[in-house]
Amino acid sequence: MFFKKRYKFSPLLMDISLNLKEATRFFSDFEIKNISDLKVLAETMKEYETKGDTYIHEVIVELNHTLMTPIDREDILALAMGMDDILDELEHCSALFEMYSITKFDDFMKRFIDSIQKCTIEIEMAIDLLTKRKLVQIRDHAIKIKDYEAKCDGIQRQSIKHLFSIEKDPIVLIQYKEIYENFENVADRCQDVANTLETIIMKNG
């Protein structure tokens, strides 16, 4: 059996995935109208990140107090930490916007955020299937996550090529390049979660 009622891993993993999805949706929907909005964005994302850290701590405590786990304990931890890494990178991205006083998402940023948001939706659905022991169905979501990550690879190449062709200010160039690369890091962390999910399928299928 996978996640029996006596285990807390099921609700904890769901909490982590839902917090991640909500944080990404907030980032995506947030409207930046002025400099002061950047502080709100960064502080709210930090709250989501802190909440996620609390869930990770609970997972670790539960792992330390559970002799027999429903799946390999290292896979549970890798899955939880993988989702947390996505949120950490996204929170860092919000901090960069505030640090550099960037008050507008350009088209490349919007495309990054859209693909990342779709990744987190797929992750939440995959975690839900995992808690219900529907392993075979998880693979479709893992594949979609990797497809979105691949789109982000293309967006990164296009964004940096475009940036170097139009931007003459070296400071602005460095700032935007860092943000584009950070968005790609978020997508990479999403792919890491997809890989962990596929590992779990392979071990328990």
Any residues with CB less than 8 A from the CB of 106 and at least 6 apart, and which? none
Q: Which two tokens stand for residue 67?
A: 């002799």
> Which residues form the domain of 159?
9-204
The CATH number given to whatever domain includes residue 118 is 1.20.58.220
Confidence at 7, pLDDT banded by 50, 70, 90: low
Q: Is 195 buried (19+), middle (13-18) or exposed (0-12) by CB count in 10 A?
A: middle
Mean pLDDT of all residues belonging to the chain: 94
Q: Which two tokens stand for residue 74?
A: 């290292």
Whether 189 maps to a domain, the answer reads yes
Confidence at 83, pLDDT banded by 50, 70, 90: very high
Whether 3 maps to a domain, the answer reads no
Whether 4 maps to a domain, the answer reads no
89 pLDDT more than 50? yes
Alpha helices in the chain (DSSP H): 9-29, 35-64, 73-100, 107-131, 135-166, 170-204
Which one has a higher pLDDT value, 105 or 68? 105
Other CB atoms within 10 A of residue 116 CB = 27
Q: Whole-prediction pTM value?
A: 0.94
